[in-house]
């Protein structure tokens, strides 16, 4: 299971558990691959529920890479992600939230 206190999200891909994490390097790689080149725009698309499947896949791949995975986006074209497309979108949104969420007062 991923550690939410460190921004991790757990997901099963083809029945195997993976830890997703948006490290600084993963975020830089994600931003470089975005069509508009802006993480702010990506966050806004998720806040407005106007994200694309490309956004979801980009976040999943970035999270996997931040968690140590060495694959590429094309490796996921035939993969079964836990919960299907909706589950993948939920994991992507959760990952994005945890990456930029400030710790609560109780956690400090």
**22-59 pLDDT per residue, tens:** 999 999 999 998 877 689 999 999 999 999 999 999 99
Question: Which pLDDT does position 108 carry in this prediction?
Answer: 44
Domain that holds residue 42: 4-72+84-100
107 within domain boundaries: no
12 within domain boundaries: yes
24 within domain boundaries: yes
53 within domain boundaries: yes
77 within domain boundaries: no
Tell me the whole-structure pTM to 2 decimals. Answer: 0.87
54 within domain boundaries: yes
Strand partners, 10: 19
27 within domain boundaries: yes
Question: Which pLDDT does position 103 carry in this prediction?
Answer: 62
Structural domains in the chain (count): 1
Cβ neighbour number for residue 23 with a 10 Å cutoff? 16
């Amino acid at each position: 299971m991923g550690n939410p206190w460190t921004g991790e999200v757990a997901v099963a891909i083809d029945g195997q558990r993976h830890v997703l994490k948006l490290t600084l390097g993963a975020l830089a790689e994600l931003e470089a691959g975005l069509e508009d080149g802006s993480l702010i725009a990506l966050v806004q698309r998720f806040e407005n529920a106007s994200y694309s499947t490309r956004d979801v896949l980009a976040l999943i791949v970035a999270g996997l890479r931040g968690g140590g995975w060495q694959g590429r986006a094309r490796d996921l074209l035939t993969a079964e992600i836990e919960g299907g497309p909706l589950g993948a979108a939920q994991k992507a949104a959760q990952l994005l939230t945890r990456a930029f969420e400030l710790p609560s007062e109780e956690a400090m």
